[in-house]
Amino acid sequence: MITPIQISKTKNTLQIRRLCREVQQLKKLSSSIFLLDYDPFSDDDESLTDSKVVQSLSIQGRILPTSEPFCQRSFRISITLPEMYPFAPPVLRFLTPIYHPNVMNNGTVCIKLTDCYRDYTPHVTFSEIIIATEKLISTPDLEFAIHPDAAMEYNGNREQYNRHALQYVLRWGLPRV
């Protein structure tokens, strides 16, 4: 289980500034491939004071895929920061069901940039993770497939996979605005 990051007066001001900067970068992605729905910082407050404590830093937004059949809708995701962030990668999870080889039914997503610390470094940004996730939706990575049924369909019967994915898109996908 992930222990969410605890930000308090004992946390480094540099870390808090970085988090604010990362959220601002996510806002710049808005309307192209990502819409930021929730972040723990208000628009008019660029920093956290000693009196403010964020118990769990979680950011929510919607990925706007560009490939068929996913491009018809958006998919809500959350980015949760573990206690050791930025030395441990943020955890990305799909909150909207999506039929994809790299996404489990519970929303867990397998992306090289964050999983198992494989390609993750403390310099990886939220924006880079979002961009990599959008690319992964378009081009599944079967080497890291965690949804066996979707992976088998994608690899062996692309038409059936596309039909199945479209059913999920139409049933659970969210508006793109």
Contacts of 25 (CB under 8 A, 6+ apart): 125, 126, 127
Assigned fold of 13-172: Ubiquitin Conjugating Enzyme (3.10.110)
Mean pLDDT of the chain: 83
Cα separation, 6 vs 41, whole angstroms? 14
Between 40 and 96, the more confident residue is 96
Tell me how long the chain is.
177
Give the E-state strand segments of the chain in sequence order.
Answer: 34-38, 58-63, 75-80, 91-94
Contacts of 139 (CB under 8 A, 6+ apart): 67
Catalytic positions are: 110
Long-range residue pairs from 156-163, CB within 8 A, at least 24 positions apart, any chain: 161/99, 162/68, 162/69
Q: Is the pTM of this model over 0.85?
A: no
> How does pLDDT run across 140-157, given as a tens digit for each residue?
999 999 999 999 999 999
> H-type helices in 2-142, by residue range?
13-29, 126-138
**DSSP structure class, residue 65:** -
> How does pLDDT run across 62-111, given as a tens digit for each residue?
999 999 999 999 999 999 988 788 888 889 999 999 999 999 999 999 88
